[in-house]
Amino acid sequence: MSYLLHIDSSSLGSGSVSRQVAESLRAAWDGPVVHRDLAISPAPHLTAAGITARITDPAQHTPEQTKASSIQDELIEEFLGADAYLFTVPMYNFSMPSVFKAWLDQIMVADRTLDFVNGSPVAGRPAVVISARGGGYGPGAPNHGLDHVVPALEVILGHSHTLGLDLTTVTPELTLAPHTPAMTPLIPLHEASLADAHDQARRWARTVGEPTAA
């Protein structure tokens, strides 16, 4: 069965703007969804056992390697089984949440999800990253150039030498404006950015979901 794989990494629950925009996308999605919430069930950080298990004959695995390999197998099989991807990855301290990086480290494995000669087996599949951020990071903003979420994920998820996904990014900005007195004048910009993010998410779902469900 093919499905949309939704990997959530926001710690904020229902108050998360990234999650709220993702819900708009899912409401417009026509097809099955598999949801993994890393805030509730985080993927473990990669260990020496997990790394060495990849290059060790399974018959020779230690108990630690067997356990680590089992976790990787579950996450990789879930990843490979999808035909579209929704990643909810807010900006935390200029970068991605550590739980999302831990998940990436578990699923990015040579000769399984990565193929540096022929390209990844998931190359070309549609994916969207929804990444809310408290400030503004576009051209002309004081924080322009300090976004270390989207540029990194464009390489990790979308580059032809890595996973090669057909990646779209949606970035609702200025989410701190309604809660920070000094940012009150920016509330209209935040509201416009948020409305546009919801619209982008719905359009992506309708555009990608229809051929996927066919």
Task: Give the model's pLDDT for residue 156.
Answer: 97
Low-confidence ranges of the chain (pLDDT < 50): none
**pLDDT at res. 213:** 54
CA atoms within 13 A on the CB side of 160: 2
Cα(67)–Cα(92) distance, integer angstroms: 30
pLDDT at position 2 is 87
CB 157 within 8 A of CB 165: yes
Average pLDDT, rounded, for the chain: 95
- Check residue 181 and give its pLDDT: 97
Contact 186, 178 (CB under 8 A): no
- Residue 125 CA to its chain's centroid (Å): 14
- At 209 the pLDDT is 84
Residue ranges in the chain assigned as alpha helix (H):
17-28, 48-53, 63-80, 98-107, 150-158, 187-213
Domains parsed from the chain with CATH numbers: 4-213 (3.40.50.360)
Residue 80, class by beta-carbon neighbours within 10 Å (0-12 exposed, 13-18 middle, 19+ buried)? middle
Which residues are CB-contacts of 50 (< 8 A; sequence separation ≥ 6)?
44, 65, 68, 69, 71, 72, 106
Residue-wise pLDDT for 84-139, tens only, equals: 999 999 999 999 999 999 999 999 999 999 999 999 999 999 999 999 999 999 89
